[in-house]
Amino acid sequence: GAGVSQSPSNKVTEKGKDVELRCDPISGHTALYWYRQRLGQGLEFLIYFQGNSAPDKSGLPSDRFSAERTGESVSTLTIQRTQQEDSAVYLCASSLTSGANTDTQYFGPGTRLTVL
């Protein structure tokens, strides 16, 4: 079946511009996560959605970052007034449920963001 998809795969933007990244989770997966991976570093948790519950935004690095998800479908991550330090790969993952100890998170291919 189809995995997690993300678009665009690459995005180059100028400092100060806004960008929007999209994630399509696996159908039926109620949990959706956004992570950021800077070059040579581990993944940083950004935000988590579970069904219709309020999202956990505790990982968002600043108020320039926001994310939305409609129901259990597509999510968009928006970065306003991009800065060079925002350059990273943004990974989306989904899982069937959440909280259960062994739920596997399936990752999308990521969006590579470069801020000039």
- CB closer to other proteins, 20 vs 109: 109
Stretch that binds other proteins, among 20-28, 62-70, 71-79, 104-112 (CB under 8 A): 104-112
Chain mean position to CA 56: 13
Chain mean position to CA 51: 16
Kindly tell me which residue out of 1, 28, 71, 99 binds other proteins, with binding defined by CB under 8 A: 99
In the region spanning residues 3 to 32, those forming contacts with other proteins, defined by CB under 8 A, are 31
Identify how many contiguous H helices and E strands the chain contains and give both numbers.
0, 10
CB of 106 to other proteins, least distance (A): 8
Kindly tell me which residue out of 67, 110, 113, 115 binds other proteins, with binding defined by CB under 8 A: 110
Copy the structure tokens of residue 11. 């995005």
In the region spanning residues 29 to 88, those forming contacts with other proteins, defined by CB under 8 A, are 31, 33, 35, 40-43, 45, 48, 50, 56
71 contacts 52 by C-beta, under 8 angstroms: yes
Q: Where are the beta strands (DSSP E) in the chain?
A: 5-7, 10-13, 19-24, 31-37, 43-50, 65-69, 75-79, 88-95, 106-107, 111-115
**Using CB under 8 A as the criterion, which residues of the chain lie in contact with other proteins when the complex forms?**
31, 33, 35, 40-43, 45, 48, 50, 56, 91, 98-99, 101-102, 104-110
